[in-house]
């Protein structure tokens, strides 16, 4: 239908309506920074690094929500928040042992988007999309297009789950499952609710912290629904990520009765010192979140510059033990391809 055949004021309303229907969080996603030269401009970064950053972003796109800039120092490529999202020339280097599928995801894929590695739990890749692109992401080379259980292909994954009576917990992962809107999530909840042996749902997401508006009233109702014991595992690596609005979003989840845990990745130049790790634990707890895991970096191609050696990692977590109550010390873990659980190194 042609809009030009309508009266002008009506055409204007129609043209505006898809935008008006978008929730604030969806507008924040759409408005995120994807262009390296814009990022360099906004943060007044040294232009000499731009060509390499752009080449790195051609391999794995640059992406971060605009509000994160408020917590980043200008002119500082090494800022601990920015370092996680800034494409850099170091990603283009090849390193022995760093591969495109470091944790054996392709091996564990049993149906479209379903990963079964650990007893009693299955991980459902709900979408390939994320609101931020973390440069060290272990799925930066994962073939999402084939593997995520999208709207048309949940059937295969649900069918496997329905027959796997030993599975009592489904972990929604991605990508970021909270990139799906409340309606899609409600549909997924309804389909999972029909499988009686599934008792727990877990949502692995970075959204409450990177786009706090994502914690809508509708989402809280869904997560608090009594059919499942539901937990949310967020991903925060530095206390600078816990701005007031992010902490408030985490508090809303807690007040709705949802267990909120955090997993971090130990990253060179971001959180590789005791002081930073202790501050992170304390700020998380102030927002109602318990530290769960501190992951050793998975050796994914393009992320070698983030690696912290195992001895150093163990020493860092031991030092945390000397400074904090036990419940604020995360378990230092490593993913071992093919193993039946994550390997605990300390904590
Ligand atoms: C980490 C992980 C889990 C969950 O492990 P927990 O120790 O229960 O947090 C489940 N499936 C996969 C594939 C994982 O990588
Ligand atoms: S939010 Fe998680 S899945 Fe998405 S890019 Fe970051 S680490 Fe990867």
- Between the CA of 333 and the centroid of ligand 1 the distance, in Å, is 11
Ligand that comes closest to the CA of residue 295:
1
Ligand that comes closest to the CA of residue 102:
1
**How would residue 17 be classed by pLDDT, with cut points 50, 70 and 90?**
low
**Predicted structure pTM score:** 0.92
> Ligand 2 pocket check: which of 130, 211, 263, 297 to mutate, most ligand atoms within 8 Å of Cβ?
130
CB 111 within 8 A of CB 156: yes
Atom of ligand 2 nearest to the CA of 173: 3
277 lines ligand 1 (CB under 6 A): no
CB 200 within 8 A of CB 169: yes
Residue 52 CA, chain-centre distance (Å), reads 25
171 lines ligand 1 (CB under 6 A): yes
Domains (ranges, CATH) in the chain?
Answer: 19-92 (no CATH), 109-346 (3.20.20.70)
Q: Could you report the per-residue pLDDT of 297-344, keeping only the tens digit for each?
A: 999 999 999 999 999 999 999 999 999 999 999 999 999 887 889 999
CB 81 within 8 A of CB 238: yes
Q: Is the pLDDT of residue 86 over 70?
A: yes
**How would residue 107 be classed by pLDDT, with cut points 50, 70 and 90?**
low
The residues that bridge with 262 in the sheet, in sequence order, are: 234, 291
Q: Could you report the per-residue pLDDT of 257-291, keeping only the tens digit for each?
A: 999 999 999 999 999 999 999 999 999 999 999 99
114 lines ligand 1 (CB under 6 A): no
116 lines ligand 1 (CB under 6 A): no
Atom of ligand 1 nearest to the CA of 103: 15
Atom of ligand 1 nearest to the CA of 233: 9
Could you identify the residue written with the tokens 């979003």? 249
**How would residue 5 be classed by pLDDT, with cut points 50, 70 and 90?**
very low
Q: Is the pLDDT of residue 201 over 90?
A: yes
Share of the chain above pLDDT 70, in %: 89
**How would residue 138 be classed by pLDDT, with cut points 50, 70 and 90?**
confident
**How would residue 7 be classed by pLDDT, with cut points 50, 70 and 90?**
very low
Q: Is the pLDDT of residue 121 over 90?
A: yes
**What burial class does residue 255 get, using C-beta atoms within 10 Å of its C-beta: 0-12 exposed, 13-18 middle, 19+ buried?**
exposed
Residue 21 CA, chain-centre distance (Å), reads 25
> Ligand 2 pocket check: which of 113, 123, 137 to mutate, most ligand atoms within 8 Å of Cβ?
137
Q: Is the pLDDT of residue 34 over 90?
A: yes
What average pLDDT does the chain have? 91
DSSP states of 48-88:
GGHHHHHHHHHHS---B-GGGGGGS-TT-TT-TTHHHH---
**How would residue 143 be classed by pLDDT, with cut points 50, 70 and 90?**
low
Q: Is the pLDDT of residue 3 over 50?
A: no
Atom of ligand 2 nearest to the CA of 139: 8
Closest CA to 173 of 188, 191, 190: 188
């Amino acid at each position: 239908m042609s809009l030009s055949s309508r009266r002008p004021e009506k055409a204007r309303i129609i043209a505006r309506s898809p935008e008006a229907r978008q929730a604030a969080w969806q507008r924040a996603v759409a408005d995120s920074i994807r262009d390296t030269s814009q990022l360099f401009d906004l943060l007044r970064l040294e232009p000499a690094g731009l060509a390499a950053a752009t080449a790195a972003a051609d391999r794995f796109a640059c992406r971060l929500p605009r509000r994160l800039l408020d917590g980043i120092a200008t002119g500082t490529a090494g800022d601990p928040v920015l370092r996680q999202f800034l494409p850099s020339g170091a990603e283009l280097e090849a390193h022995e042992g760093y591969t495109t599928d470091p944790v054996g995801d392709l091996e564990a894929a049993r149906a479209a988007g379903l990963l079964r590695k650990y007893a009693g739990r299955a991980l459902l890749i709900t979408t390939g999309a994320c609101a931020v692109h973390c440069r060290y992401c272990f799925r930066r080379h994962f073939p999402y297009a084939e593997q995520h259980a999208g709207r048309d292909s949940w059937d295969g994954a649900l069918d496997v789950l329905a027959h796997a009576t030993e599975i009592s917990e489904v972990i929604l992962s991605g990508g970021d499952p909270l990139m799906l809107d409340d309606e899609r999530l409600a549909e997924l909840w309804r389909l999972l609710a029909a499988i009686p042996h599934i008792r727990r749902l877990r949502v692995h997401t970075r959204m409450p912290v990177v786009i706090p508006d994502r914690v809508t009233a509708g989402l809280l109702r869904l997560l608090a629904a009594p059919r499942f014991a539901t937990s949310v595992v967020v991903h925060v690596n530095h206390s600078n990520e816990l701005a007031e609005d992010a902490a408030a979003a985490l508090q809303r989840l807690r007040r709705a009765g949802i267990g909120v845990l955090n997993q971090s990745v130990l990253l060179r130049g971001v959180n590789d010192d005791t002081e930073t790790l202790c501050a992170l634990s304390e700020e998380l707890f102030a927002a109602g979140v318990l530290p769960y895991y501190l992951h050793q970096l998975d050796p994914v191609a393009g992320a070698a510059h983030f690696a912290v050696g195992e001895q150093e990692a163990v020493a860092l977590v031991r030092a945390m033990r000397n400074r904090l109550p036990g419940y604020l010390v995360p378990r230092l873990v490593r993913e071992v391809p093919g193993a039946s659980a994550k390997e605990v190194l300390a904590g």
